[in-house]
């Protein structure tokens, strides 16, 4: 880590020149996120588990928040010390001059992540550091700063790995998956960052058709359209945390916001369909919020009745999970899905996200790739099928 200034006088002391950043993501998306960071000009890129470390300047930090589709938040490490017990943690945190970052009347919140034999409760370690910050303010000014966990002015992260305590500034605020276009969600909406990552993993070339035949509230087709039309995911956000920092450069942010993001010529059709009229109503409204109402063709239809217009393309589906489909229906559903893919989607590459690999075997199709992904706490596989005339059928009696 490159701690250029352990005791900055203000945010500018942290964001001047080139500094280290950490982008958080979901497990399985580290490669695509690293690719995205490289594309916006990040340097010293290093992948970890659910994180990608990189370096860049303030402009890159703004871009990372505004342009990365597969990042959940962008953190900046700024202070590090060692502690093996609560007391060392408290005194270590007390040594930092917090008035540099938290100004009068500002609220703050702190989250903790723990991987250490010396501490055993992430809530407790955050509380200890919060106490150190509050006590320092009380001593200096006679007043404690307010803690606001819902919408704080300054969001801090504390990571303890072994006895190494790192404090990081959260430049994003609300998680970046909250793009700002969603007004309604189906019962099991996919996280926007996960949807974007899945589309990137398919390698869709934005020249062929794209279809989600179980689109629910439309997350996958909307993220696909944003990508295809080169719309930065941050365009709908009302605010990023760094906008509240003392060094916020409005002119720089406006120039990034107003940059020309060239649109590719559209030789493709993006379609989303679902059996539920309510879901399609929500999908249409979400797409309208994202200014993509005219770019996506939404249809109410069971997937088995959907016939793609073009020959070939990419299909991505996030079928209902086992919990929602009764066991006896699970088999019939997947048999129908396999038959439909084979009959209607020759020339397509079909990708299915599932937490139930056993049920997927009822499709009778042979996958040629399986990627481990997590949908919230659910361990899933993102499974690829190349559908061609005479696609291989497996024995369906596998269960
Ligand atoms: C897990 S949800 C998809 C959520 C979606 N990705 C989103 O972000 O909102 C599964 C969807 O499959 C739809 N579905 C279930 N059976 C279907 C069928 N036979 N044909 C089409 N859609 C179906 C449900 O209505 C539901 O919206």
Q: What is the pLDDT of residues 121-172, one digit of tens each?
A: 989 999 999 999 999 999 999 988 888 888 899 999 999 999 999 999 999 9
Does residue 318's CB lie within 6 angstroms of at least one atom of ligand 1?
yes
- For residue range 281-315, list pLDDT tens digits in order: 999 999 999 999 999 999 999 999 999 988 899 99
CA distances from 108 to 55, 224, 244, 274 (A): 25, 35, 11, 42
CA 394 / ligand 1 centre spacing (Å): 25
Structure confidence by residue, pLDDT tens digits, 308-362:
988 899 999 999 876 655 666 888 999 999 999 999 999 999 999 999 999 999 9
Evaluate whether 125 touches 114 at the Cβ level (below 8 Å): yes
In 3D, which of 177, 156, 183 has the Cα closest to residue 69? 177
- C-alpha 389 to ligand 1 mean position (Å): 26
Please report the atom of ligand 1 found closest to the CA of residue 213. 21
Burial of 397 (0-12, 13-18, 19+ CB in 10 A): exposed
Q: What CA–CA distances, in Å, run from 41 to 14, 50, 72, 178?
A: 19, 20, 18, 24
Query: Under a CB-based contact definition with an 8 Å cutoff, are residues 328 and 362 in contact?
Result: no
pTM score, whole prediction: 0.93
Instruction: Kindly indicate the confidence band of residue 15, based on its pLDDT and cuts at 50, 70 and 90.
Output: confident
Residue 87 pLDDT greater than 90, yes or no = yes
pLDDT digits (tens, 9 = 90+) for 16-55: 899 999 999 999 999 999 999 999 999 999 999 999 999 9
Give the separation between CA 132 and CA 171, rounded to whole angstroms: 22
Per-residue pLDDT, 146: 84
Residue 378 near ligand 1, beta carbon < 6 Å: no
Compute the distance from residue 218 Cα to the ligand 1 centre, in Å: 10
In whole angstroms, what is the distance from residue 154 CA to residue 3 CA?
20
The pLDDT score that the predictor gives to residue 225 is 96
Residue 216 CB–ligand 1 contact under 6 Å: yes
Binding site membership of 184 for ligand 1 (Cβ less than 6 Å): no
Residue 79 near residue 167, CB atoms below 8 Å: yes
**Mean pLDDT in residue range 94-111:** 91
- The verdict on the CB of residue 217 being under 6 Å from ligand 1 is yes
Domains defined for the chain, CATH in brackets: 12-170 (3.30.2130.30), 192-232+266-386 (3.40.50.150)
DSSP code of 320?
P
pLDDT value at residue 263 = 75
Distances (CA, A) of 302 to 36, 222, 306: 35, 20, 7
Mean model confidence pLDDT for the chain:
91
Give the DSSP letter of residue 24: E
**Which two tokens mark 355?**
């937490």
Shortest-distance atom of ligand 1 to CA 279:
27
Residue 220 in contact with ligand 1 by CB distance below 6 A:
yes
């Amino acid at each position: 880590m490159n701690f250029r200034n352990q005791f900055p006088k203000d945010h500018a002391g942290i964001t001047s020149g080139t500094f280290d950043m950490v982008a958080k993501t979901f497990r399985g998306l580290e490669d695509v996120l690293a690719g995205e960071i490289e594309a916006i000009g990040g340097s010293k890129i290093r992948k970890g588990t659910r994180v990608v470390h990189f370096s860049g300047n303030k402009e890159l930090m703004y871009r990372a928040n505004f342009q990365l589709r597969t990042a959940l938040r962008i953190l900046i490490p700024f202070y590090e010390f060692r502690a093996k017990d609560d007391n060392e943690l408290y005194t270590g945190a007390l040594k930092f001059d917090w008035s540099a970052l938290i100004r009068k009347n500002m609220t703050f919140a702190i989250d903790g992540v723990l991987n250490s034999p010396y501490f055993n409760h992430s809530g407790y370690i955050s509380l200890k550091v919060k106490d150190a910050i509050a006590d320092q303010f009380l001593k200096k000014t006679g007043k404690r700063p307010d803690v606001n966990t819902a919408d704080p002015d300054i969001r801090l992260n504390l990571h303890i790995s072994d006895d190494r305590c790192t404090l990081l500034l959260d430049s994003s605020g609300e998680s970046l998956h909250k793009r700002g276009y969603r007004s309604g969600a189906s019962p099991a909406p996919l996280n926007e960052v996960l949807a974007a990552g899945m589309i990137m993993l398919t390698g869709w070339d934005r020249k062929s058709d794209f279809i989600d035949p179980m689109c629910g509230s439309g997350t996958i087709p909307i993220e696909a359209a944003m990508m295809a039309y080169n719309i930065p995911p941050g365009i709908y956000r009302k605010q990023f945390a760094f906008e509240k920092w003392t060094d916020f450069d409005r002119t720089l942010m406006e120039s990034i916001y107003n940059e020309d993001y060239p649109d590719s010529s559209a030789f493709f059709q993006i379609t989303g369909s679902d059996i539920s009229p309510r879901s399609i109503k929500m999908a249409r409204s979400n797409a309208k919020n994202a200014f993509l109402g005219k770019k996506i063709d939404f249809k109410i239809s069971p997937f088995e009745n959907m016939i793609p217009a073009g020959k070939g393309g990419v299909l991505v589906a996030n079928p209902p999970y086992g919990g929602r489909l009764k066991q006896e229906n699970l088999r019939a559903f997947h048999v129908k899905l396999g038959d439909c893919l084979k009959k209607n989607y020759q020339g397509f590459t079909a990708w299915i996200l599932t937490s139930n690999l056993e049920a997927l075997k009822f499709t009778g199709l042979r996958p040629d790739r399986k990627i481990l992904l997590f949908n919230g706490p659910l361990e899933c596989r993102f499974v690829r099928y190349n559908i061609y005339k005479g696609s291989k059928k497996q024995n369906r009696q596998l269960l």
